[in-house]
Structure 1
Amino acid sequence: MSSATPEVQRDELDALTSILDETAFEIEQQTETTHGTLVIEVSLPDEFYIEYHTNQRRRVEYLPPIYLRFTLPNDYPSVSSPSFELECIWMSSEQLQILSENLKNMWLDNSNEPILFLWYTSLNTQALEWLNITTKLDLTLSFSSTVSKSIKPQLTSTQVAAVIHDYERERKTILLSRSVITCPICVNDVYGHDCFLCYVCSGTACKSCIKSYLETIITDGQVKSITCPVNPTCNIELTPTQIASVVDKQTFHRYDRLLFQLSIDAMDDIIYCPRCQKPVIITNNTDNHLDNTLGECATCSFVFCTLCGRTYHGVNPCQYSAHQLQDIYKDYQNASAEERLALEQKYGKFFNRFMDDMASVEAIRATARQCPQCSIFVDKLDGCNKMTCSKCHSYFCWICLRSLSKTNPYGHFNEPQSKCFNKLFEGVTGMD
């Protein structure tokens, strides 16, 4: 071994330390050997995509780095090459082997010369070329689309894509924190660490403007599908983490609560307890509709009917108020065929009879009028406009629905000052 070899090694490592920052180069000096790691980002073309499922791809600007872990023998570089291994989460073992062969060939072409920085720059600029990758990284070629049952854990293409996405997000955040931008909303110059960044479209704006926007829509209850607030054409939804990083704790608590409420409301097997309003899971474990209407709240122990919300009444039909019946009937009349079937299944075997009764009521209401005393519907088939209620036996005018005197009901039609003067037989067939 040449006496100059240790000095050449020290000079090379010092040069790497001065050129690369601590995130790209790490060295561990031991008594007999030197170990280190080079962290190498691959340069990507302007338009570069990853494909992680059939016809599913996404543009990326950064990929997780290649890790080159090396050990320098005592006679490097005068005699021996560094021993090394490569790691990269988005490469297969075959691809890593291709890169390794290229690095070994570079050593053969540059024997007895320091090689680490040349390896670093070559992997940065030529790795994709060596792998025959141009504008698209097809993860499905190296990773399966489903989780395998092999002894060695294997990542799926979707999982690798998620790691790439997370790395790109962190990388963009770091770069933003080192810069100053002009907010497109308030047009103020803001330091990057005080800015909001959309990880997909790379749109940025100051956190103060984004905070005002998010607080306004969350206060209004618009918590579903909050998209990028910087770029109107970017349809990516903000994550709860992104929202929490901008708004205050009280606003985020409201957002989180309303979002949870929407999720619960969308579940077919969740209903709220009529007494304490806590969510209750309903198990539809039988084909018998009446057996699936029992709800029991684990919080307040209230046992109730899941249809009408009252105390559980078994096989007896639900007792609805007139307004509830009217609302159900209107929903059914305006529903599609699929929605009508769902309503029929929900309300069970009594539903068809109930619909018939409501249809009869609607038909009566189309021609009948309510008694001004007891509000019962009264229909006039024939006769004059002085009506007698079949329930309370009071008199009223069919035209203006005014209550009439019990001793002189016809006086209403004979008084000139009455608006129904001489209208006792108005509208009666055959009467002039």
Structure 2
Amino acid sequence: MSTADSEIQSDELDALGSILDETTFEMTKASIATEKTHGTIVIEVTLPDQFHIEYYPNHRRHVEYLPPIFLRFTLPNDYPSISSPCFQLECIWMTDEQLQVLSENLNNIWLDNSNEPILFLWYSSLSAQTLEWLNMTTTLDLQLSFPSIITESIKPQLTSAQVAATIHNYEREKKIVILSRTIITCPVCVDEVAGTDCFLCYACSGEACKPCIKSYLETRILAGQVKHITCPINPSCNVELTPAQIASCVDKQVFHRYDRLLFQLSIDSMDDIIYCPRCEKPVIVTKGTDDYLKNTLGECATCSFVFCTLCGKTFHGVNPCQYSENKLKDIYKEYQNATPEERLALEQRYGKIFNRLMDDMASMETIKQTARQCPQCSIYVDKLEGCNKMTCIKCHSYFCWVCLQLLSKTDPYGHFNRPGSKCFNKLFEGVGGMGW
């Protein structure tokens, strides 16, 4: 490498590092003269005000942000005096053919600007001209590039709905990041609040300070009104808040109450469903007969355990149920702390409470069974929805829910998209329906 090329490369990389932050620009600088410098530039595509994605027939959604393009480059020793950077483009919502169109345009830009540093020009051109190069104006039709269902193919595929879900998740995270860097006037208390202390509604993008949202949610939860909690900022927004949104605003104790009451309401609505005390699988119980034994007998089809539906122990016929002193104390404590509506519900289903561990204990066990520790800061994180790319609520690290590996800040989805990765094509593994 000539001294001139070396100095130009160093100056160009330093300039990029000063312009772009660590989530947008990442490089591995050459340690000796014979090695080449590698790096990644993350490019956000500029969208018009009215831009939509289509992912099913007659299913379209307005979006403000799309997942970025990843420009992975290697600088030859004779760049920029002779050779162009070697590069590869990646983008989850583009086909190979579309990426090839962008690559050809970048090569043309190099030909027009030979012997000059080109990386920032490529970056700005991809940001401003990608839609023009792909002949897109106001719509990204995912149906043209991705199937509606997975088909047999040598190449792994994502469906149009899965790509749309990835776009939705990315846009939501992007808005949260942008909000965290701003100061807003809370529409409730009219105080100026840092974005990091604000709540963002995913559906209508309404913003308010967390103390106001916390007060609203706690009032409803403490009153036992846990069903159909919708956006408190925008009266016309009828989208129900997710458990994750509620958990981000209220204390753990209040969220535990919300979780417990919501679970109770769900169980109460199913009079003929009870859970097996051994394997916790649902069991259908015949009720409403004159035969007391039939009303109190449960038989699990999964583990074949025959139990009493009142106390949850092995079926004991007409003999009375036996409860431990500690369990009776726990039930009494819960009854003392319950609202009048909750006390009535407990009294109405008195036998059902005794056939299982207390809801508090059940909720704690569920957390231990389902939560996983962040590999960066070790706090427990529970996955309530979305794909397998997780964001820690404490340290904001990205990690894989499947293997718990820390993910790149600039390319967290590469862990799932690159052949050879142990979680290749597992971004949506274990994810159910995405009805958003």
| Residue 14 (structure 1) aligned with residue 19 (structure 2) | no
Secondary structure of the residue aligned to 1:205 is: strand
* 1:20-419 equivalent positions in 2, closer than 5 A: 20-30=20-30, 31=32, 32-265=35-268, 270-271=273-274, 280-282=282-284, 295-296=297-298, 301-302=307-308
Q: 1:182 to 1:83 in 2, by over 3 A?
A: same
CA contact 2:296–2:308 (8 Å) conserved in 1: no
The whole-number CA distance in structure 2 between the counterparts of 1:266 and 1:135 is: 45
How many Å separate the matches in 1 of 2:139 and 2:271? Answer: 42
Partners of 2:270 and 2:160 lie apart in 1 by: 30
Instruction: Give the aligned residue type for 1:52.
Output: Y
Q: 1:59 offset after TM fit, Å?
A: 1.4
SS in 2 for 1:35: strand
Instruction: Give the drift of 1:14.
Output: 1.6
Query: Residues 297 and 307 of structure 2 are in contact (CA less than 8 Å); yes or no, is this contact kept in structure 1?
Result: no
Q: Give distance in 1, aligned partners of 2:223 and 2:2.
A: 76
| Gap change, CA 1:211 and 1:303, over 3 Å in 2 | closer
Distance 1:155 1:268 in 2: 40
In the alignment, the residues of structure 2 paired with residue 149 and residue 86 of structure 1 have an alpha-carbon distance, to the nearest angstrom, of 26
Instruction: Verify the 8 A CA contact 1:26 1:37 in the aligned structure 2.
Output: yes
- The Cα shift of 1:219 comes to 2.3
What TM-score, normalized to structure 1?
Answer: 0.63
One-letter identity of the residue aligned with 1:24: T
The alpha carbon displacement at 1:293 in A equals 8.1
Deviations 1:171-219 (A, max 9, x none): 1111111111111011111111111111232211111111111112222
Structure 1 unaligned residues grouped into runs of 5+: 285-291, 305-310, 313-432
1:198-250, Cα deviation, whole Å (9 max, x unpaired): 12322111111111111122223322222111111122221111100101112
Task: Name the aligned partner's letter for residue 43 of structure 1.
Answer: T
Q: What is the TM-score of this pair, normalised by structure 2?
A: 0.63
Q: Residues 35 and 269 (structure 1 numbering): CA distance in 2 closer, same or farther, change over 3 Å?
A: farther
Unaligned residue ranges in structure 2 (runs of 5+) = 287-293, 311-316, 319-436
- Which amino acid is the alignment partner of residue 307 of structure 2? S
Structure number with the bigger relative contact order (C-alpha 8 A, sep ≥ 6) is 2
The 8 Å contact of residues 39 and 67 in structure 1, kept in 2 or not, is answered as yes
Are 1:2 and 1:78, in contact at CA under 8 Å, matched by a contact in 2?
A: no
CA contact 2:69–2:91 (8 Å) conserved in 1 = yes
**Aligned partners of 1:280 and 1:296 also within 8 Å:** no
CA contact (8 A) 2:273 2:285 kept: no
Answer whether contact 2:285 2:298 (CA < 8 A) is retained.
no
Check the 8 A contact 1:42/1:124 in 2, yes or no: yes
Letter in 2 for 1:79: I
> Within 2, Cα distance between the matches of 1:198 and 1:40?
26
> For 1:190, what is the secondary structure of its paired residue?
strand
Pick the structure with greater CA Rg: 1
Residue 334 of structure 1 corresponds to: none
Please give the alpha-carbon distance, in whole angstroms, between the structure 2 residues aligned to 1:157 and 1:131.
18
1:5 aligns with 2:5: yes
8 Å contact kept, 1:24–1:40: yes
Residue in structure 1 matched with residue 342 of structure 2 by the alignment? none
3-state SS, counterpart of residue 10 of structure 1: helix
What SS class does the counterpart of residue 26 from structure 1 fall into?
strand
Partner residue of 2:400? Answer: none
Letter in 2 for 1:173: I
Question: C-alpha displacement at 1:270, in angstroms?
Answer: 1.7
Task: Label 1:220 to 1:116 Cα distance change in 2 as closer, same or farther (>3 A).
Answer: same
Give the distance between the partners of 1:41 and 1:65, measured in 2 at CA.
5
- The AA in structure 1 aligned to 2:136 is I
| Cα distance in 1, alignment partners of residues 297 and 107 from structure 2 | 71
Q: Give CA deviations for 1:133-180 in whole Å, capped at 9, x if unaligned.
A: 111111121111123343543221111112112111211111111111
In structure 2, what is the Cα distance between the partners aligned to 1:74 and 1:282?
A: 72
Alpha-carbon RMSD: 2.9
Q: Aligned letter for 2:284? A: I
Matched-pair contact (CA < 8 Å) for 2:54–2:139? yes
Residues 268, 71 of structure 1: alpha-carbon distance in 2 compared, 3 angstrom cutoff: farther
Partner secondary structure for residue 114 of structure 2? coil
Counterpart amino acid of residue 113 in structure 1:
E
- Alpha-carbon distance between aligned partners in 2 of 1:94 and 1:263, rounded to the nearest angstrom: 49
Q: Percent identity?
A: 69
Shift of 1:80: 0.8
Asked if the contact 2:40–2:71 (Cα under 8 Å) also holds between the matched residues in 1, the reply is: yes
CA apart distance, 1:28: 0.8
Contact 1:297 1:303 in 2 (8 A): no
Name the SS for the 2:167 alignment partner: helix
